[in-house]
Amino acid sequence: MTHRLTDLAASLPASVPFVGPEAQERARGAPFTARLGANESPFGPSPRAVAAMEAAARDVWKYGDPEYFDLRHDLAAHHGVRPEEVVCGEGIDGLLGYLVRLLVGPGDAVVTSAGAYPTFGYHVTGYGGTIHTVPYRDDHEDPEALAAKAREMGAKLVYLANPDNPMGTWLPVDAIARMLDALPEGCLLCLDEAYADLAPPEAVPPLDTSDGRLIRMRTFSKAHGLAGLRVGYALGHADLIGAFDRVRNHFGLGRVAQAGARAALADTAWHSHVLAQVAQSRDAIAAIGRANGLTPIPSATNFVTLDCGRDGAFARRVLERLIERGIFVRMPGVAPLDRCVRISCGTPADMEALAAALPLALVDAATPA
């Protein structure tokens, strides 16, 4: 062996926060009938975005603009902020990595919820930070407990998703405002708003990029149907946004990704079409769940979390039986959230496949071998 890992890297397990559906398809030797686990948008990207990407593909011999100038200016105009208050990157996952790299060193305290989006914790651990967690309260993240833990630990960074993944629930804007005021001095709130495009207005605080206590992250992976491009962006105070240039991959977004995101942002008619499809599918998932004795948790996202009514072992059997029947779904990983399975919105054909498979999966899960 000629490579020498850092002590920190050598101490970490080799892990992936999510096992992809492709890996599961290879393991089962067959494709999924319905891909309902990754909160993608099977309703597809805007036709205008597809055309823009096709045109940009002819110029992929060129590097993309490392400043993302046009995309940042489009986003700034869309949100009514200044371009220097917008940073783009390789999805929210990539931006979380850059944020943690900027703020978190070995031993620094970071606060999140037990069972929240695992990639955030993956980055914190990878840079040597110490994760402190608080439990969910009534299937919602608990802003009061998060702020209290941040004060107790002297945390530099707190992570909160609103609307939440994996539960789909959301907090009203006044709860976010109270949480900000309750954080200790020098603590930044990272508000993951991956599902903001799908949320009711009362869940999305007004943008105030002058507030240095807050950075907000958005994505083109959900409502815009561009998960495969990996385009995300963050909105925040210009001083913090400018600091990303110290660590980010300046060629992280290629020409095709930038062109597709710009066209998707401009196609408001397609965006409205997708929101209607998502609302219809959420209703269908909830109805299928109720018809099978499960309880749908109200959702402000493009998925519905179904309470299976028993413990995590039972919910995992339901998930496994669904996967055996070609339905890719996921579930929360921490009790008591793991009594549920999480099902992404899908096409009418996806809903038919789910409706056929779920009752059989529940029967098999109730009588394990």
pLDDT, one tens digit per residue, over 295-321 is 999 999 999 999 999 999 999 999 999
pLDDT at position 17, please? 79
Contact 336, 320 (CB under 8 A): no
Look up residue 37 and give its two tokens. Answer: 């686990």
Quote the strand ranges of the chain, DSSP E: 34-35, 86-89, 109-113, 130-134, 157-161, 188-192, 214-219, 232-236, 295-297, 303-307, 327-328, 340-344
pLDDT at position 367, please? 85
pLDDT at position 368, please? 66
**3-class SS of residue 132:** strand
Looking at the DSSP assignment, which residues form a beta bridge with residue 86? 235
Query: Selecting from 1.10.1660.10, 3.30.540.10, 3.40.640.10, 3.90.1010.10, what CATH number does the domain 47-266 have?
Result: 3.40.640.10
Distance of alpha carbon 217 from alpha carbon 49, whole angstroms: 21
Distance of alpha carbon 327 from alpha carbon 356, whole angstroms: 10
pLDDT at position 1, please? 67
Distance of alpha carbon 46 from alpha carbon 44, whole angstroms: 7
C-alpha 40: how far from its chain's center? 10
pLDDT at position 216, please? 98
Nearest CA to 97 among 126, 128, 65?
Answer: 126
Per residue, the 3-state secondary structure of 52-76, as one string, reads HHHHHHCCCCCCCCCCCHHHHHHHH
Distance of alpha carbon 322 from alpha carbon 320, whole angstroms: 5
Distance of alpha carbon 161 from alpha carbon 290, whole angstroms: 27
Contact 317, 364 (CB under 8 A): yes
Task: Provide the residue type at 89 as one letter.
Answer: G
Nearest CA to 280 among 333, 226, 346?
Answer: 346
| Strand pairing class (232-236; 303-307) | unpaired
Q: Where are the domains of the chain?
A: 19-44+269-366, 47-266
Per DSSP, 167 falls in state T
Any idea of the CA torsion for 338, 171, 103, 333, to the nearest 10 degrees? 0
Task: Provide the residue type at 352 as one letter.
Answer: E
Distance of alpha carbon 320 from alpha carbon 327, whole angstroms: 9
pTM beyond cutoff 0.85: yes
Dump pLDDT digits (tens) for 263-302. 999 999 999 999 999 999 999 999 999 999 999 999 999 9
The correct answer on CATH 3.60.15.10 for the domain covering 19-44+269-366 is no
**3-class SS of residue 352:** helix
pLDDT at position 369, please? 63
- As averages over each run of 10 residues, the pLDDT of the chain (369 residues) reads 88 86 92 96 97 97 97 98 98 98 97 96 96 97 98 98 97 96 97 96 91 97 97 98 96 97 98 97 98 98 98 97 97 96 98 98 87
